[in-house]
Amino acid sequence: MKDVNFLKGNILKLLFIFMLPVVISNLINQLYSLMDTIVIGQFLGKRALAAVGTTGPIVFLVIGFAQGIATGLGLKVTQSIGKKDISQVKQSIAISFLIGITLSIVLTILGIVTAPYLLNFMKVPDYLYHDSYTYILVVYAGITSTVFSILLVSILQGFGNSRFPLIVMILTSIFNVILDVVLIGVLKLPVFVSGLTNVLAQTASFILCYIYLNKKYKEYKILKSDFVVDQKKIKKHLVMGLPMAFQFSITAIGVMVVQSFLNPLGENAISGFSIGSKIETLVVQPMVALGVAVSTFAAQNFGAKQYTRIRKGINLSLVILLGTTFIATIFSTVFSQPLIRMFISNPTEEVITYATKYLTTISWYYIILNILFVYRMTLQAIGEQVIPTLGGVMELIGRISAAYLLIPSLGYYGISLASPIAWICAVCILVPRMYHYLHKKNKELIVLAV
């Protein structure tokens, strides 16, 4: 199949063709993440599961920052692809690599140094601390592989190629699951090995994508001469990547605050919340894929200055949005019980109750999350970074407000409401800004044409 060219053709059809491999790829990615959790829960028990679960916000604080940088840099490359300027694309890839390696080193050091303080801030119980800490160290050691894996996938998607990342995801997921079962299930190695298998899978993904990029798109192969230290161009790439990175980290800070209220509730609450969050992450992947598809569509058309087409694409994407929301809601409610029981052998009724309560509560707000994905990722793709960052700040305010105002009176139910409140706060500023920004760009284009 050919790469998807978003600059012409039936928009709805193009979005669907592009997002289908992304959905499958994301689902496989989450399934192998779920397999990690299932293997840990089945073979090492709910304490090990709670130890990994409580590290989630801390890991996401740094890894999310890395993901934001990599995704933003990839979208900057996509804009160059839309302009059909080979030299500019090559320089953009080279600059992205330079920024990626520099920030990977900084984030690795920063993450390892701050991990103990963040675990203490989150009130991680003593009986979980050692396993949580060693797991975090292993994950942080693999930040470079994570950054370049995401960056190269984003670049390939920028070319309209969502199929090869799917193939890589299938191969690395199988590799990861086999390692998990052998090392944890058979050899009974400690929980940090789960983090190690993830790092090895990301490394394999990075290598495969890099080889494919150079073979498939030979004219875009970067040379030594492409690594030009141009401060203006570096700044433009950072302007694209850093706001996305900060947005991820701002979200993580809010989740950390909520987690600090969750941890004192005990092992069962932590395990139930961890399981519920894993299932939520799985079922919303079609929404994430829609956001990726629309943002890639927008970035290509932004590079080609087809602003009216971007607006039309966003409006048409709402049709797919309703379908993906319905699917996520059904799985979170109708199939929640069997999904929960996959995670732990002989789960207690308390764990099941906590996980079910979380999923039932949050599923009512999936449509808000879906709108958030589409509009935030599209704004970022077309170079509008201030409002998405402000949206992240609004999410932070929403989560912290829920933590201090709702959790003391509502308990675990307040914890479950924290994310929906955050999503609503963000959407209220993202949606109007999107249409205002596109209207402004269209007026600028008309003036230039005159």
- pLDDT, one tens digit per residue, over 381-434 is 887 778 888 888 999 999 999 889 998 889 899 999 999 999 999 999 888 887
SS3 396: helix
Burial, 181: exposed, middle or buried (Cβ in 10 Å; 0-12, 13-18, 19+)?
A: middle
At 158 the pLDDT is 84
* pLDDT tens digits, one per residue of 154-185: 889 888 888 898 899 889 988 988 998 899 88
Rounded to the nearest 10 degrees, how much is the dihedral formed by the CA atoms of 19, 22, 27, 32? Answer: 180
112 band by pLDDT with thresholds 50, 70 and 90? very high
What pLDDT is attached to residue 1? 54
- Region for residue 348 given its phi and psi (left: phi exceeds 0; alpha: psi -120 to 50; beta: otherwise): beta
- Highest mean pLDDT among 27-31, 41-45, 105-109, 442-446 belongs to 105-109
Residue 236: CB partners within 8 Å, gap ≥ 6?
A: 76
Residue 447 confidence (pLDDT): 43
Predicted local distance difference test score (pLDDT) of residue 231: 84
Does residue 136 or residue 41 have the better pLDDT?
Answer: 136
What does the pLDDT look like over 36-80, one tens digit per residue?
Answer: 777 887 788 778 878 887 887 888 888 888 888 888 888 888 888
pLDDT tens across 392-403, in order? Answer: 899 999 999 988
Q: Name the helix (H) or strand (E) containing 143.
A: helix 143-158
pLDDT at 29 over 50: yes
Considering the chain, what is the average pLDDT of its residues? 85
* pLDDT over threshold 50, residue 449: no
CB atoms within 10 A of CB 229: 9
For 351-371, the pLDDT digits (tens) are: 889 999 999 999 999 999 999
The predicted model scores a pTM of: 0.74
Residues near 396 by Cβ (< 8 Å), separated by ≥ 6? 250, 251, 253, 254, 422
* Upper half-sphere CA count for residue 46 (Cβ side, 13 Å): 21
Cα separation, 80 vs 88, in Å, equals 6
Q: How far apart are CA 392 and CA 72, in angstroms?
A: 15
Task: Tell me which of 58 and 442 has the higher pLDDT.
Answer: 58
Least reliable range by pLDDT among 82-86, 136-140, 256-260: 82-86
Residue range 307-332, pLDDT digits in tens: 888 888 888 888 888 888 998 899 88
Q: Residue 344: pLDDT band by 50, 70, 90 thresholds?
A: low
pLDDT of residue 425: 93
Q: How confident is the model at residue 450, as a pLDDT?
A: 36
Residue that is written with structure tokens 């190269």 in the block: 152
Name the pLDDT band for 448 (thresholds 50, 70, 90). Answer: very low
Contacts of 285 by beta carbon, 8 Å cutoff, 6+ apart:
23, 26, 27, 29, 30
Q: Give the mean model confidence (pLDDT) for residues 22-43.
A: 79
Exposed e or buried b per residue across 326-361, where buried means at least 16 C-beta atoms within 10 angstroms of its C-beta: ebbbebbeeebeebbebbbeebeeebbebbbbbbeb
Using 50, 70 and 90 to split pLDDT, how confident is the model at 345?
Answer: low
For 318, the token pair is 């709402």
Phi/psi of residue 347, nearest 5 degrees? -65, 145
